[in-house]
Structure 1
Amino acid sequence: MNTLEEVMALKARVAASIIGQEAVVDRLLIGLLANGNLLIEGLPGLAKTRAIKALAGNLVSRFSRVQFTPDLLPSDITGSEVFHQTPSGGEFHFDPGPIFANIVLADEINRAPAKVQSALLEAMEERQITVAGKSHKMEPLFMVLATQNPVEQEGTYPLPEAQLDRFLMKVTIDYPSVEDEVSVIELVRAEEQAAHTDKPSGEHSLTEQSVIFQARTEIAQIGVDPAMARYMADLVYATRTPANYSSDLAQWIEIGVSPRASIALDKCSRTYAWLNGRDQVLPEDIRAIAKDVMRHRLALSYQAQGAGLDADGVIEKIIQLVALP
């Protein structure tokens, strides 16, 4: 199989255990191939953790899960210098924390205080952490997948805008359809039955990390026409000058998105095009991932919130108003 076929086989294996969330599986793959970190938001029980575990379980990788709580300390994530007794007297050694893995699940990230949340920043952006004045590099394949509950408010610490901006995409998970819910019941029942029988579970191959690195190399070669680059910039710029497009937009948007949004649009649209077998980015590639890239970077006004609008609705309006160059 070529690289694309191997990645699609990985996608099929992950999707087999996540019913009704095909778009989420796509975004997980895009984040992995674009070498970014994802924020995943959804109500409890919508398979956020299951989806991430399914991705890690089908890769040759080290997986780490951190349950964020209000009493968590930064060193609980990064690790710390620990004194070890030796025949010569004793010395300090760095004991790495759970962040030293390939796939890191930061579960309910909004339940931990700011100091703990910021402990992820250096690892996410610089791919290293510094403890006691020494820098420690992360693995070449490193990805943080953070989850949060959108409705739970008590005992939570909303992520600051600077940290939200570090996430390549914010992926939202909604309820499955009735038909998919039936399939979920049947899938879980089948898993329980298999767990209580002596019949060995079916073996399946794992995707090597080299496949991901090769895919990234191919994605880097995907062509972006200057007109498409201008279209990405126009979408971003429309969030900063909404009055040029619509009086409604001017009332709805308080703060536009940062230049990181332009970079993320480029990375994710090239990855989306590659996954669909194209060697050039098309407008549909950009539009397909625009909401995931911009929804957590856009600050809405009180008027928009009072009118019941969310970021997705505002971004959809921008897509309608911004013409192709």
Structure 2
Amino acid sequence: MRALIKKMVYQVPGWLGVYHALRKRHQNEAVVLTYHGVVPGVPANRPRFEYRNFVTTAQFENQIRTMVKHYRPLKVADFYREDGEVGGGFLVTFDDGFVNNYRYAMPILKKYGVEGCFFITTNLIGTRNFLWTEEVTRRLEMTRMPAVELTFEQPQTFALGSREERLGASQQIRKKMKLMGPAPLRKMMADLREQLSDVAAEMSREEEDRYLMMTWEEVRDMLKNGQAIGSHTHNHPMLATLPEEMSFEELRLSRDKIREECQIPCQTLSYPNGERENFSPKIKEQLRELDYRCAFSQIPLFNDRHSDPYELRRFNVSLELPLAAMEARIAGL
């Protein structure tokens, strides 16, 4: 009942023409959407929280169809070319580099004539390794251990007995870990793996749609099919936690790997996590030095021709976001 009421709350303004009026108000601005993954559906034996930043293929197609109806599709290059005009447009972006982007998102984008920009974590492409933030959630969700004890400022015990406790632990632990530098983060991951060693370290075939990254061959095929590729760094660190020489290397290594594997210039980046505390004026300076032309944050606002090209804003799209609520958000409600 609550879900139905929420849906109606967002649908009624649409029926009354409110969203149309708001879109006209923002007609000189652009909407950029952030996705992470697209899957046919959430497996019945897995918690929905594990897929919180994904959408289903049905959701994705409905969203793209709606965007094409109300906005004009943009290319990522429109945000850094001198003659680029972004007003009244939308851009679809994907972070991380999951294979489901290739399997399920790309065909839908092609169907509607939309170029997406896929920001990839280059050191994970072509591997079966987990993105570290995803590994944390996976282990906490799948373990049968009743609790885990981790030391941040001081030792802290996180109960894992119920689904709600595991969800809360995942949110708290990942939030704290994102503030860590590389060495403490590696130590914390090793500790977590040791305590939750009952969870299989290897990715199963059934988990591939959720966790597997693309291969370089698939990345290159994306380009052949009219999609764009950008950097999401080399190892997915929170850039602002790194010493300057390490953040520079993260940006350089990712840029060079994309150049080498795809034979294209790497001119765009999305910041891991993408909140204000995850990048800095120094990071922007490094991007300019390395010939990046623009970078995307996760700050949920609009963009226009005067926006800082190294702090472009995006709206995140998630599993539990109804289409009407998405329309409201990107209309500025």
TM-score, normalised to structure 1, is 0.25
TM-score, normalised to structure 2, is 0.25
Larger radius of gyration: 1
